[in-house]
């Protein structure tokens, strides 16, 4: 019997195709609880698909996806709904509902997944927004926010149900360097103070260096490198080494 702790996330020989296009080929990795795992690679190499497999929005063609030790590959919709209560997802576009206020966006998962009274839900949503610097924006509409504020609001909604796992797709996309750094700080705080496990897809290498405990590099659907920042810098793959030299955000 192994004394190794159960990883928060584990991929075991996962493959995924869309028609004739193979996106992931026999991918295996694990993410330790309470750590930040960053997925790198060129566009179209399966990074965002990996996030969607973790939360059950997509199903693997073969192999298994484990979340907190549970194989979610063949769960039915009700079972997946239970699993997703422990997972927050910050989409690249923030994916806020444009027809309701910022505060109601944050309150939405609380209304959906808890039986708390309305007044308590509103107070919790306000509290989360205040912690992310959006205390005055409860009644604002998403369309009135800047890109950075929308990312903060999306993060607030993702954190509303206190997830143990947070999936983040391109957190710095479209943001200026200062705002991007602020989002980095928020994600580091989520890991450090909320003890959440983070899986982050990004092309922003300086950001990845700040946040990651471990990194993995996907190329042509295969995991070609995995390890610490220092280990990826010394990878035998030239593409990985070149990527790690990047000083550009975005």
144 and 247 within one domain: no
Q: Which of 216, 208, 217 is CA-nearest to residue 187?
A: 208
CA distance 180 to 207: 8
Average pLDDT, the chain: 91
Q: Report phi then psi at 45, rounded to 5.
A: -100, 10
Domain end, chosen from 162, 194, 218, is at: 162
**Cβ count within 10 A of residue 71:** 12
Q: What pLDDT score was predicted for residue 90?
A: 87
Q: What's 8's domain CATH number? A: 3.40.50.300
223 and 110 within one domain: no
Q: Is position 230 within any domain?
A: yes
Q: What pLDDT score was predicted for residue 148?
A: 87
182 and 80 within one domain: yes
221 and 168 within one domain: yes
Domain end, chosen from 162, 193, 210, is at: 162
- pTM, rounded to two decimals: 0.90
Q: What pLDDT score was predicted for residue 246?
A: 82
Q: Which residues contact 104 (CB under 8 A, 6 or more apart)?
A: 97, 125
180 and 153 within one domain: no
Query: Which two three-digit tokens encode residue 222?
Result: 């295969």
56 and 35 within one domain: yes
CA distance 52 to 250: 21
190 and 67 within one domain: yes
Terminal-to-terminal C-alpha distance of the chain: 44
Q: Is position 91 within any domain?
A: no
Q: Is position 93 within any domain?
A: no
| Contact predicate 1/61, CB 8 Å | no
Give me the numbers of helices (H) and strands (E) for the chain, helices first please.
Answer: 9, 10
Q: How long, in residues, is the chain?
A: 250
Please write the tens of the pLDDT for every residue from 37-55.
Answer: 999 998 888 999 999 999 9
Q: Which residues contact 51 (CB under 8 A, 6 or more apart)?
A: 39, 89, 167, 169, 199, 201
In sequence order, what DSSP letters do the residues of 205-224 get, joined into one string?
Answer: HHHHHHH-SEEEEEETTEEE
State the average pLDDT over residues 21-30. Answer: 96
173 and 74 within one domain: yes
168 and 144 within one domain: no
**Residue 217 pLDDT > 70:** yes
State the average pLDDT over residues 158-178. Answer: 89
Please write the tens of the pLDDT for every residue from 59-106.
Answer: 999 999 999 999 999 898 889 888 888 899 888 777 888 999 999 999
49 and 170 within one domain: yes
């Amino acid at each position: 019997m192994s004394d190794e702790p159960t990883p928060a996330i584990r991929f075991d020989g996962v493959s995924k195709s869309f028609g004739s296009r193979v996106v992931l080929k026999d991918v295996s990795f694990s993410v330790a609880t309470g750590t930040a795992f960053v997925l790198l690679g060129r566009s179209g190499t399966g990074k965002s698909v990996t996030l969607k497999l973790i939360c059950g929005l997509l199903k693997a063609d073969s192999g298994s996806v484990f979340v907190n030790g549970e194989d979610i590959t063949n769960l039915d919709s009700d079972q997946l709904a239970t699993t997703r209560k422990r997972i927050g997802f910050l989409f690249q576009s923030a994916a806020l509902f444009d027809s309701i206020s910022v505060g109601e966006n944050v309150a939405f998962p609380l209304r959906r997944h808890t039986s708390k009274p309305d007044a308590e839900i509103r107070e919790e949503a306000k509290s989360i927004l205040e912690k992310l610097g959006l205390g005055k924006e409860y009644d604002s509409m998403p369309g009135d926010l800047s890109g950075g504020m929308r990312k903060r609001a999306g993060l607030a909604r993702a954190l509303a149900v206190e997830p143990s796992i947070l999936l983040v797709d391109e957190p710095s996309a479209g943001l200026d360097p200062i705002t991007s750094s602020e989002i980095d700080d928020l994600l580091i705080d989520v890991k450090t103070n909320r003890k959440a496990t983070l899986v982050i897809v990004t092309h922003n290498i300086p950001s990845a260096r700040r946040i990651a405990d471990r990194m993995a590099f996907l190329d042509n659907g295969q995991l070609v490198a995995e390890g610490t920042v220092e280990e990826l810098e010394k990878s035998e793959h030239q593409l990985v080494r070149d990527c790690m030299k990047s000083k550009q955000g975005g």
